[in-house]
Amino acid sequence: MKNKIRVYFQFIVIVLILYVATRPFFDKAYFADFEKYCPFGGISSFFSKINQNTMACNMGETQVMLGLGLLLGVGLIGKLFCSFICPIGTTSEWLGKLGRKLKLQKAIPEKADRGLRGLKYLLLFVSIYFTMTSSELFCKKFDPYFSTMNLFGNIDIVLYYAVPALLFTIAGALFLRLAWCKYLCPLGAVSNIFLNLSSTVSVIIIYIAANYVGAQLSVVWLLAGLTVAGWINETIFMRSVFIPLPKVTRDEKGCSNCGNCDSKCPHGIKVSEMPIV
């Protein structure tokens, strides 16, 4: 078993989630709040606080700090939340292993893959825009994790959003590779935005400078700028520059250029062509 520590983390998180889901059956006073520790909800609520000075739904300072802490962690240690903690990422990975054993998985052509990656930036913009203008978490309408854990019984869940999202997550994991994570996950999109520190800081500086000279741009313009910058970086350049601090270095002397690392990479990175990933 490779990387046992990561597997242990994944297993512990799933067990804790199942405990929260089943506890109301033997503890009637307990309320299973599946959005309580949602980092994307905290990030969305942060934009709502900036735009309307109100938090979204049941989000508070704890959720906002979780979201901002995640973005800080992205810069320091990379996207370990997606790999170690995210229940959708874990489930998709496990379903992907089943798909490979059953020989169901197919590779998507590189051009199609890069084009599809832009969908999560569109979903990110839509999710945060409607959250920051209504102070209601839009992501609850479609989130596969939230809908599944609530058995589609929460009033905030919109079935014609949530059911296709869940089916895509399951089918995408079986027949493709981490399809939800690569193509639709808004948290993955916002993490990628802050992985590309140079463009992110540039957009923020331009936004502040424009308002300083009297442009009076709303926060929506900042959101749009960050989203477009993240989309361009992932679909065209597909790499970060300065962060995260730890990186994977390819041993060029020991590399046989067989290309096996390219085919094994779940995110389609051309590892064989890069000295540092």
* pLDDT per position as a tens digit, 136-156: 999 999 999 999 999 898 999
Q: Which residues pair with 276 in a beta bridge?
A: 249
> How much is the pLDDT for 227?
97
**Cβ–Cβ under 8 Å, residues 79 and 143:** no
Measured distance between the N- and C-terminal CA atoms of the chain, rounded to whole angstroms: 23
Is the pLDDT at 2 greater than 80? The verdict is: no
* Residue whose entry in the numeric block shows the structure tokens 């998709």: 92
Residue with the larger pLDDT of the pair 74 and 160: 160
**Cβ–Cβ under 8 Å, residues 185 and 234:** no
Q: What is the mean pLDDT of residues 31-52?
A: 89
Is the pLDDT at 46 greater than 50? The verdict is: yes
Is the pLDDT at 230 greater than 90? The verdict is: yes
> How much is the pLDDT for 277?
74
Question: Which residues are CB-contacts of 129 (< 8 A; sequence separation ≥ 6)?
Answer: 138, 220, 223
> How much is the pLDDT for 257?
80
Q: Is the peptide bond before 109 cis (omega within 30 degrees of 0)?
A: no
Residue 58 confidence class, pLDDT cut points 50, 70, 90:
confident
- With pLDDT > 90 as the criterion, what percentage of the chain qualifies? 58
* Residue whose entry in the numeric block shows the structure tokens 């900036």: 50
> How much is the pLDDT for 131?
95
> How much is the pLDDT for 158?
95
Residue 139 amino acid letter: C
pLDDT, tens only, 240-252: 777 777 777 877 7
Q: Supply the angle between the helices 119-134 and 110-117 in degrees, to the nearest 10.
A: 10
Is the pLDDT at 267 greater than 70? The verdict is: no
Q: Give the span between the Cα atoms of 257 and 252, in whole angstroms.
A: 9
Is the pLDDT at 266 greater than 80? The verdict is: no
Is the pLDDT at 127 greater than 50? The verdict is: yes
Is residue 3 classed exposed, middle or buried when 0-12, 13-18 and 19+ CB atoms within 10 A define those classes?
Answer: exposed
Is the pLDDT at 7 greater than 60? The verdict is: yes
**Cβ–Cβ under 8 Å, residues 73 and 189:** no
Residue 180 confidence class, pLDDT cut points 50, 70, 90:
very high
Q: Supply the angle between the helices 186-195 and 39-52 in degrees, to the nearest 10.
A: 80
Nearest to residue 185, comparing CAs of 165, 209, 205?
165
Q: Give the span between the Cα atoms of 226 and 219, in whole angstroms.
A: 11
Buried b (16+ CB within 10 A) or exposed e, 173-190: bbbbbbbbbbbbbbbbbb
